[in-house]
Amino acid sequence: MNRFVVISGCSGGGKSTLLAELRRRGHAVVEEPGRRIVREERAGDGAALPWIDPAAFARRAVAMALEDRANAPANGWVFFDRGLIDAAAALEHATGEAALERLGRAHRYHRWVFLTPPWPEIYVNDPERPHGFEAAVAEYERLVAGYTALDYALVILPKAAVSARADFVLEALGAE
């Protein structure tokens, strides 16, 4: 059983909040590569921001996701806020390069991928997420297709309070 678990899905769907709760409960959590890259780019020249150069951004996200996997804790569940598959899907979308199949098959995560569905009632923009809800839904649909093509079992998280979502994830993994 692979102990690397991806929490992916729609931007603004509550992934980061859920991961903060899992961290609070003592689990290892790896922050989303995209948010780290946006912060770094805004502090620098901003050349690889996703709304300026999506391909450069996606390439950085792939490299960071591979590094995150290599540096993940050796024991216990490790929860990834997005990860390599999301980055490869973004690279493929930006460039047409067949990154998803190549990277996705070589670097597997737990067979269950937990997805936050589109949830317009909680969607908000922030400095690291300036795109609109429609773009978030389009990305979600690409991720569903990508994870499905790589034979992951998609588990759609309930639209519920963060504590209930964390319970849901941990109970599902404990039932394995």
Q: What digits encode the pLDDT tens for the residues 96-149?
A: 998 989 999 999 999 999 999 987 777 666 666 666 778 888 889 999 999 999
Quote the pTM value. Answer: 0.89
45 HSE (CA, 13 A, CB side): 5
* Torsion 124-125-127-129 (CA) sign: positive
Q: What percent of the chain has pLDDT over 90?
A: 59
The superfamily CATH assigns to domain 4-174 is P-loop containing nucleotide triphosphate hydrolases (3.40.50.300)
Closest CA to 90 of 103, 78, 79, 107: 103
Amino acid letter, residue 114: F
Under 8 Å CB-to-CB from 171, ≥6 apart: which residues? none
CB 165 within 8 A of CB 26: no
Is residue 44 over pLDDT 90? no
pLDDT of 126 reads: 62
**Angstrom distances, CA of residue 63 to CA of 34, 52, 74, 89, 102:** 11, 19, 20, 13, 14
Q: What is the pLDDT of residues 90-102, one digit of tens each?
A: 999 999 998 989 9
Instruction: Give the span between the Cα atoms of 20 and 166, in whole angstroms.
Output: 10
